[in-house]
Every structure is written in structure tokens, then in C-alpha cells.
Amino acid sequence: MAELQTATFAGGCFWCMVHPFDTYPGVVEVTSGYTGGTTEYPTYEEVCSHTTGHREAVQIRFDPDVITYEQLLDIFWRQIDPTDAGGQFYDRGSSYQTAIYYHSDAQREAAESSRQALDASGRFPKPIVTEILPAQPFYRAEAYHQDYYKSNPGHYNRYRRASGRDQFIALHWDHPHA
């Protein structure tokens, strides 16, 4: 096994960002948490108050010999609305804004390249606004948020459907585009 690497993505509600990555070989761990803010060890309530500067995010430990960072970027883009600067789906506010937090120059370059390619693809009628930022301290969310899709599948599935995320993904990724 190669030395594990870390990827960090903010894609709105972290509950919806774990399962898509969790299913791939080479992904060793997906952790829900908070990053990008100024408060040390913020709580869920503090982050939701939009006063700490944090975003809900997932941090992924992966084996680059099995799954590449570029593959993780592709999975990330397919989970979000990269044109929405105000949050994601019905979750509004700064804690739900999208971002890619890079851990190396190579990750930054790959993220910038993937964002440019997606923007140029014409898949979305509006420009891509997802930020690419240097990794910052990542704080693990409370235990009840970890693997929420496994521990609360009924609520998780209702939430995903009601949020509009699945409909957006189906519209923009499951149908052919120019």
C-alpha cells in the first residue's frame, strides 16, 4: 500500500458527501467535519450560526495507487452545484458553500485544471464558483454526524430527496450534455 494521502472537499451538507466517496476502492476513510474558519474546535451549532467561517466538509484518506486525486475530484464535482455561491440546494449560507481544499501544489494544480475543464464543458449555464483554497485545520464533527447515511438511513434518504441534490445530479450528470 502506498502512503495514504488526504483530500478535503466542502460540498454543502456533509451527510450527503460521505456516501459517494465511501463506496470506492482505495478510499480508506471519509470523515465529516468543519474547515476554513477561525474558531478552534467548533461545534455544529456554532458552524450553523455562520459566525465561525467554517464550512461543512469531508476529509478523505485514500490510497493513490488505487484511486487518484483526479478521480476524487470527478466524484466531488458530480455531487454539487458548482455554480451556487450561496450554499447548496436548500442549505443556505456560508457553512454550505463549496470548496476544494488542497494539501499540495499538485492537488492545487489538479483542482484548478478540473475546474477549468468543467467550466469550459458547457455543462452548466452559469460559471463555476467553487473556490480552490489551501487546506486549513480540519475539525472532526460530532460522532452522530459520522457515517450518517449508515446510522440514520431513513432520515438521510428523505433529506437527500427533499434537498433537491439528487434531482440536480440526475439533470446535470445522468443525461447527455454538449
Catalytic residues: 13
Distance CA 83, CA 168 (A): 12
H or E segment and range at residue 171: helix 165-173
CB contact burial 99-136 (16+ within 10 A = b; e otherwise) = bbbbeeeebbebbeebbeebbeeeeeeeebbbbbbebb
Grid cell in block for residue 171 = 439533470
Beta strand 131-134 with 98-102 is parallel
Q: Any idea how long the chain is?
A: 178
